[in-house]
């Protein structure tokens, strides 16, 4: 694994979309940042609860959800810092938790995408056209 | 703010965000992106409403 791949993956995890910006895909990076952050913030605003390892109480489903939430990088640590436990009696608690969980999972996909781009595993259409076709 | 308590609005936002995300992640060309976005958005939004109607008689009495 190259240094470029490691740096882009770490950046992508810490700040959603920053890995793509680092790899030269600025527009996409900004769009990904906007999508992930918007989803996470909506989740917080509508009383969603953040899954944490401390609150998983041995339930493997909650442990998996905690790792998924951690995928959102700085947002996770920011939310756990402010104690975003959500409001379980709120009608939108489940929706909010799902929004936050999805934001984390999306960011994990972005980390994997950065790995693929950095290792030339993901060839865009424009790149493909530039390469000679093989028989 | 009360708009964000509406389940249809939340479903709509979720479908839009997910559709945009995967269209940008998976596709390179504009036309492919629009097609992917519409497919994901319609599946999540209208599929969710359809599933809700199908589950309406449940639980059976």
pLDDT (tens digit, 9 = 90+) per residue, A77-95? Answer: 999 888 777 788 888 899 9
Token match 């059976």: residue? B60
Give pLDDT tens digits along chain B (61 positions).
Answer: 678 888 999 999 999 999 999 999 999 899 999 999 999 999 999 999 999 999 988 887 6
pTM: 0.87
Which sign, positive or negative, has the C-alpha torsion A94, A99, A103, A106? positive
H helical segments located in chain A: 3-14, 18-22, 26-45, 60-70, 74-81, 93-118, 125-130
CB of A45 within 8 Å of a chain B CB? The answer is: yes
Taking residues A58-69, report their average pLDDT: 89
What is the structure's pLDDT at A127?
47
Of B4, B20, B28, the CB nearest to A126: B28
Taking residues A41-47, report their average pLDDT: 92
What angle in degrees, to the nearest 10, is found between the helix axes of B7-26 and A26-45? 160
Tallying the residues shown for chain A, one arrives at: 135
In chain A, the residue whose alpha carbon lies closest to the alpha carbon of B11 is A95
Does position A116 have pLDDT exceeding 70, yes or no?
A: yes
Identify the burial level of B31 via C-beta atoms within 10 angstroms of its C-beta, where 0-12 means exposed, 13-18 middle and 19 or more buried: exposed
CB of A37 within 8 Å of a chain B CB? The answer is: no
- Listed in sequence order, the residues at least 6 apart from A110 whose beta carbon sits closer than 8 Å to its beta carbon are A12, A16, A17, A19, A20, A32, A36, B25
CA of A106, closest CA in chain B: separation in Å?
8
What mean pLDDT is reported for chain A? 87
Residues of B in contact with A113 (CB under 8 A): 25
In chain B, the residue whose alpha carbon lies closest to the alpha carbon of A28 is B24
């Amino acid at each position: 694994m190259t240094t470029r791949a490691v740096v882009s993956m770490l950046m992508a995890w810490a700040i959603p979309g920053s890995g793509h910006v680092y790899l030269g895909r600025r527009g996409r990076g900004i769009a990904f940042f906007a999508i992930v952050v918007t989803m996470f913030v909506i989740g917080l605003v509508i009383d969603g609860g953040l899954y944490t390892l401390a609150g998983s109480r041995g339930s493997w489903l909650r442990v998996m959800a905690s790792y998924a939430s951690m995928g959102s990088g700085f947002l996770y640590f920011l939310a756990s810092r402010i104690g975003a436990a959500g409001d379980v009696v709120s009608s939108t608690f489940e929706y909010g938790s799902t929004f936050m969980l999805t934001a984390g999972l999306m960011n994990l996909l972005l980390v994997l995408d950065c790995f693929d781009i950095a290792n030339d595993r993901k060839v865009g259409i424009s790149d493909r056209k530039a390469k000679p076709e093989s028989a | 703010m009360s708009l964000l308590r509406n389940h249809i609005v939340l479903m709509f936002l979720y479908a839009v965000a997910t559709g945009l995300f995967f269209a940008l992640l998976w596709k390179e060309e504009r036309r492919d992106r629009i097609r992917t976005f519409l497919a994901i958005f319609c599946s999540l939004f209208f599929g969710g409403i359809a599933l809700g109607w199908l589950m309406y008689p449940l639980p059976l009495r």
